[in-house]
Structure 1
Amino acid sequence: MFSIIKEKERKSWALQVYHNVKCILKFRTFPIFVPPPHKIAPSRAISVSSNCSPTASSNKVGSPLHRNLKALFSYFRVCAPLSGFYSYTVGLGSSQVYGQALCRDDIPDDVCWECIALASSKIQELCPNSRRGIIWLDHCQLRYSDKNFSGKVDVYDRACQPAVNNASNPSNFYQSLRILVANLTSLVTQSSPNRFFTKGVSVLEEAERIYALVQCVKDIHADQCGWCLQNASSDIAGCFNRKQSGRILRGSCNLPFGVWPFFSSDPTVISLPKPSHSESTL
């Protein structure tokens, strides 16, 4: 592999990315992550939700399963930031572990790297000796299990992260948000699985703008992605109790929204019909 790199680097001194079965090797003629220009503020980075299975004696410190998990988290730190999504398996038999890491598609490599590194550390604190766990941070999520979950949609691992401020008109706000999310879900399920990410803003006269983002893991089918997002959007009112921003999280998808732009680059602008003034169920 490295002989190939040596031959190719004579022809190009720009960014190079090389793949093998286990990982991705990426290099530039300038630093990739050091010094990281997009530091995650601790108050934002530790906006954490997690789900863990009960502790198990087979995952004690020093056990084969525990050693394999340590190796898995090391692979995540190196490989996940290079593509924003990474699945890997370590070990054999009863000590085999499966893992998956996903970064938000609109963040720089260094922010992804820092988030995955923090998630790898935090999940070991929050899920000690667990055979299965998932953690969500603001810019990434990380998941592992002793069972193979590749290609399977997960709506059972779930969390809500409501913000503090209330919507001025919750009925209209949630009605508009549902329409926005439905449009984004339609867009994202028509995109390539290598993407499965889109963001948008509602435009409605005499109303606040609503910003939302939808994303799925990249090892499921488009219809599974759509079903996961529909499942998440069904929690909009129940999770947020009149709040005007927050995140709905699933193992295979996530749905953050708010009344201010929280992502980079321009979102898709979606014009909404004027909400009905009739009462709607919150």
Structure 2
Amino acid sequence: MDLSWQFFSSSLVTAFLLTLTLAQQQPPYLYHYCSETDGNFTRNSTYETNLNRLLSSFSRRTAHENGFYNFSSGQGSNIAKAIALCRGDVSSSDCFDCVNNANTELRDRCPNQIEASIWYDYCMFRYTNHSILGRAETDPAFFSWYGDNVTDVDAFNQALSSLLESLRNKASSGTSLGKFATGSTRVSPFRTIYALAQCTPDLTQNGCSFCLSRVIVYIPQCCGRKQGVRVGMLSCNIRFDIERFYNLTAADTTTTGTFSSLLCFIKSPSCIKRFLSNNYYHIHLGYCFCSISHFRLHLHYFKVEEPKAESSRA
């Protein structure tokens, strides 16, 4: 074989392996939102200076054990505020890496928006110029679903409803150190549902419960009969699947029902098989990926409307 061809082939393999390694190191991206409500900032403005100072200072911070970051820069109308929340079962080092990556990528995706947010599998990151802490914010939001439709709909929905209500109560009763809960329930001898619920820990118990309730209400509307669903809002999120996706050694777990079972979801053949079978779902406004395989999932953005008060009649 010609030496130049051997060198070219070797270079291709090296480049592929390097790309593969980098893909494995990056947390899976889910969704981002560039808000137009608060407008854009101009180049070299006071707000941009404060935002850049805030974002650059984060890389010099140390990892937080509870996975929640809150920081600000500046004052008055030009203040820049940011929060970050990591999944409760993620290690502090993986959390820090995820937020650092989100920090950089969000500026690339929303280069001049005053308010922006981004979600990954491991973390959520957002910045704005208004007050964040203590507010249960449910807009914007996104959802994604994956897997086949369930066949035992009634039994599945009944088990899921009980599990999510239990996790909502447990997560909302958490402290300022964390509002996070995971659990599982057996639908049948051959099927288990695994779920996760989380709020930003700055919320009150009522605020967290309200946010998670909004998520639960929208699940049957957006993703009815799906085996796996994720709904993310600014202040809370819920995810469930028939394969375990969270880390048991770090997660605070609750099991409901008579039985419990454990299934390995980390790069398992069943995961690959399931995503291969759903490789051609239509994408609405974004992309989701399973690990490094880049199998497309269904993703859709929706705006949560506040309930309208009914007028009373005499």
The change in CA–CA distance for 1:193 and 1:131 in structure 2 (over 3 A counts) is same
Q: Which amino acid aligns with 2:46?
A: P
Could you tell me how far apart the structure 2 residues matched to 1:158 and 1:123 are?
16
User: What displacement does 1:269 show?
Assistant: 0.8
Equivalent in the alignment of 2:35: 53
User: What displacement does 1:45 show?
Assistant: 2.3
Equivalent in the alignment of 1:104: 87
User: What displacement does 1:175 show?
Assistant: 2.8
- Identify which of 56, 65, 72 aligns with 1:89: 72
The change in CA–CA distance for 1:240 and 1:41 in structure 2 (over 3 A counts) is farther
Equivalent in the alignment of 1:250: 233
User: What displacement does 1:52 show?
Assistant: 1.7
Q: Which amino acid aligns with 1:108?
A: S
The change in CA–CA distance for 1:258 and 1:190 in structure 2 (over 3 A counts) is same
User: What displacement does 1:43 show?
Assistant: 9.2
> How many residue pairs align between the two structures?
235
- Identify which of 251, 257, 262 aligns with 1:271: 257
The runs of 5 or more residues in structure 2 that have no matched partner are: 1-20, 260-314
Q: What are the residue-to-residue correspondences of 1:190-229 with 2, within 5 Å? A: 190-206=173-189, 208-229=191-212
Kept in 1: contact 2:34–2:115 (CA 8 A): yes
Matched residue SS, 1:50: strand
CA deviations 1:181-237 (Å, max 9, x no partner) are 001111222232312111001123345100001111011101111111111111112
The runs of 5 or more residues in structure 1 that have no matched partner are: 1-38, 274-282
Percent identity reads 27
Q: Which amino acid aligns with 1:81?
A: A
Q: Which amino acid aligns with 1:226?
A: S
Kept in 2: contact 1:193–1:219 (CA 8 A): yes
- Identify which of 106, 122, 145 aligns with 1:139: 122
The change in CA–CA distance for 1:79 and 1:151 in structure 2 (over 3 A counts) is farther
Kept in 1: contact 2:197–2:239 (CA 8 A): yes
Equivalent in the alignment of 2:135: 152
Q: Which amino acid aligns with 1:97?
A: A
* TM-score calculated relative to the size of structure 1: 0.75
Could you tell me how far apart the structure 2 residues matched to 1:78 and 1:180 are?
40
Matched residue SS, 1:153: coil
User: What displacement does 1:61 show?
Assistant: 3.4
Q: What are the residue-to-residue correspondences of 1:181-192 with 2, within 5 Å? A: 181-192=164-175
Kept in 2: contact 1:40–1:114 (CA 8 A): no
User: What displacement does 1:65 show?
Assistant: 1.3
Could you tell me how far apart the structure 2 residues matched to 1:105 and 1:96 are?
29
* Root-mean-square deviation over aligned CA pairs: 2.5
